């Protein structure tokens, strides 16, 4: 059962039909029905997105596109275009696109221009003092992350700010440590991957697509 259209929706439908008529397309009752059904489907999609965001799982644009295509598949309609999801969000004031990311306080402090300039000045003075060649300068970075934890992404959430763009993270995940190095002249050192475990697994090295020059080590906690 389709709900009754509001006066504003009826006016929009009438205007839509008049526009078609001026272009030589005869108005049909099916046009009105299609517009009404499309409106209801979009409202259902909006409600679904808001429910996900409220529960801590705001969907990505690709997920919104996939849901829309699933709805269209039920009536053998063509799939939406590549920009449909972002345009869909722009059309509805209930939604907005939010850049979801984790932000560390120490990283925020490092955005201070005076701190950055002071650090690079120290580096330049050290290079000049000891006559260090660029080929001997490396930047090593060690990071630890939890497998299965959702990374930075653009998500769709509520426009009123009630449903924050935060993802609920799964528990009981394994930790992995990655050590990377980059030379000042542009070439890199193959990374070291440290995973939790007691034994190396053959599947890590055979038919896994894992680069042969990467190094894997194991520890009790990764």
Give dist(CA 155, CA 50) in Å, integer: 12
For residue 19, name the pLDDT band (cuts at 50, 70, 90). Answer: low
Residue from 91, 83, 86, 48 nearest 67 by CA: 48
| Per-residue tokens: 203 | 């599947």
Q: Check pLDDT > 50 for residue 155.
A: yes
Helices (H), 55-138: 61-73, 84-91, 105-109, 113-130
For residue 1, name the pLDDT band (cuts at 50, 70, 90). Answer: very low
List the beta strands (DSSP E) in 32-113.
95-100
For residue 177, name the pLDDT band (cuts at 50, 70, 90). Answer: confident
Phi, psi dihedral angles at 122 (to 5 degrees): -65, -40
Question: What local confidence, expressed as pLDDT, does residue 125 receive?
Answer: 92
Q: Are 36 and 10 in contact (CB under 8 A)?
A: no
Note the pLDDT tens digit of each residue in 33-76: 555 557 777 888 888 888 888 766 788 888 888 888 887 777 77
Give dist(CA 147, CA 3) in Å, integer: 46
| Per-residue tokens: 150 | 């959702």
Question: What local confidence, expressed as pLDDT, does residue 78 receive?
Answer: 81
Task: Please state the domain extents for the chain.
Answer: 7-94, 105-151+174-219
Q: Quick one: average pLDDT of 158-186?
A: 68
CA dihedral (155, 161, 166, 167) in degrees, to 10, reads -60
């Amino acid at each position: 059962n389709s709900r009754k259209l509001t006066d504003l929706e009826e006016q929009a439908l009438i205007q839509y039909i008049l526009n078609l008529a001026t272009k030589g397309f005869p108005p049909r009752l099916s046009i009105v029905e299609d517009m009404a059904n499309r409106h209801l489907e979009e409202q259902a999609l909006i409600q679904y997105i808001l429910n996900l965001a409220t529960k801590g799982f705001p969907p990505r644009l690709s997920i919104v596109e996939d849901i829309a295509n699933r709805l269209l598949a039920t009536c053998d309609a063509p799939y939406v275009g590549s920009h449909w999801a972002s345009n869909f969000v722009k059309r509805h004031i209930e939604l907005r696109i939010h850049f979801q990311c984790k932000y560390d306080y120490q990283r925020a402090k490092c955005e201070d221009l005076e701190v950055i300039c002071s650090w690079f000045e120290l580096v330049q003075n050290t290079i000049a003092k000891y006559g260090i060649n660029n080929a001997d300068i490396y930047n090593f970075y060690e990071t630890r992350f939890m497998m299965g934890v959702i990374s930075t992404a653009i998500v769709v959430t509520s426009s009123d700010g009630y449903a924050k763009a935060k993802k609920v993270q799964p528990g009981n995940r394994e930790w992995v440590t990655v050590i990377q190095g980059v030379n000042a002249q542009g070439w890199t050192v193959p990374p070291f991957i440290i995973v939790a475990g007691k034994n190396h697994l053959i599947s890590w090295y055979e038919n896994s697509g894992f680069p042969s020059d990467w190094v894997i080590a194991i520890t009790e906690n990764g």
